[in-house]
Chain A
Amino acid sequence: MKQPRVTLWLLRAILVVHAIAVMAQPLMAGFYLSGDVDAMNVHSPIGSTLWMISMVQIVIALLYWRFGGGQVYPVVVTLGLFVAEFLQMVLGQTRSMTMHIVLGSAIVTTVLMFTGWSFTAAARVARPAKQAEPVG
């Protein structure tokens, strides 16, 4: 059965970039809140870029799924991240801090767990061969 190799390395690479970018966000937010107003000049551009990283990641996840023979979950999770990160940018610009902080924590958690997962043996597992779909 075909196992993802090249596409898995691409997925890992984009996830590492994604993870570094999302980890910078609470750091910059903390600096900003402690009085370093320049930190917002880093926090905002990264925040406006994250959903674009997710767009690239969706393409890679699709390749991992279709051509690499991997699982479909990375596509689904990345779609969720794309929506969450776009919403997160809007919430930040509208200063909706309650939602922004909770959603931000959720995004960091998801990206880091996703990145960790991509380096486990489970990420190398090929999706099951197509079988007759069970009825119901």
Chain B
Amino acid sequence: MACSSRKRVSDVPTSSGSTARLCSGAVTGPRRTLALLSALVALHAVAVVVQAVLAGAYLDGAGTAMSVHGPLGLATAVVAVAQLIAAVLFWRPGRGALWPTGVAALLLAADGFQVAMGYTRSLAVHVPLGVAIVVVSLAFATWALHSASRLTLPESDPGSSPQPSESTGASA
């Protein structure tokens, strides 16, 4: 079965031990690794949004907000490490795209630098970098959760429901 050019092809293991070639815009190879990556990307996005709330609360006069903002910043960087590991697993052995590893590496570097800029009170860097981290994290989470939702609901993509066929077919 030929796939149209815009659809991705992936070989996924079936329960019978053979591989099935899925021709769909919805279902691609990585499943468990994408679920793990999505969970961590979502957690990271929630953490950075909470950081923005805490920074605002501090500027509004809630001094205690800073006693949470600092440690949570460190925790966010730790989540970024886990996110990077999940992104690598998504690539190999998950056979997913490589670019999420790049984004996760960038976020880890940004988070680490952001914590340093926060503790040294370099707000001219800390504030815009914080916004940039929020933007990238939310865009990354949008992609991850969108991909994950298409994995669990492949039939929501009309006209391209997954049609497994043996990879030993003519196209293989």
Among B71-79, B95-103, B134-142, the stretch that binds chain A is: B134-142
A104 interface hit (Cβ, 8 Å): yes
B residues less than 8 Å from A101 (CB atoms): 52-53, 55-56, 59
Docked-complex contact A102 and B60, CB < 8 angstroms: no
B85 interface hit (Cβ, 8 Å): no
Interface residues of B in 132-153 (CB under 8 A from A): 132, 134-135, 138-139, 142
Across the A-B interface, how many residue pairs have beta carbons closer than 8 Å? 69
Q: Which residue of A lies closest to B127 (CB)?
A: A30
Docked-complex contact A30 and B55, CB < 8 angstroms: no
The dominant DSSP class at the A interface is helix
Docked-complex contact B60 and A108, CB < 8 angstroms: no
CB distance from A88 to the nearest CB of B (A): 12
Docked-complex contact B128 and A97, CB < 8 angstroms: no
Assembled-state Cα–Cα distance A95/B57 (Å): 11
A6 interface hit (Cβ, 8 Å): no
Assembled-state Cα–Cα distance A47/B128 (Å): 16
Chain B: residues with Cβ within 8 Å of the partner, total of 24
Known contacts: A104-B131, A108-B131. The answer to whether A30 contacts B124 by CB under 8 A is yes
Docked-complex contact B138 and A26, CB < 8 angstroms: no
Known contacts: A102-B53, A105-B134. The answer to whether A29 contacts B60 by CB under 8 A is no
Q: Which residue of A lies closest to B135 (CB)?
A: A109
Chain A: residues with Cβ within 8 Å of the partner, total of 24
B122 interface hit (Cβ, 8 Å): yes
Known contacts: A108-B131, A113-B139. The answer to whether A99 contacts B125 by CB under 8 A is no
Quick one: which of B60, B138, B142 contacts A97, CB cutoff 8 A?
A: B60
Interface residues of B in 24-53 (CB under 8 A from A): 49, 52-53
Docked-complex contact A34 and B124, CB < 8 angstroms: yes
Known contacts: A30-B124, A30-B125, A34-B122. The answer to whether A97 contacts B131 by CB under 8 A is no
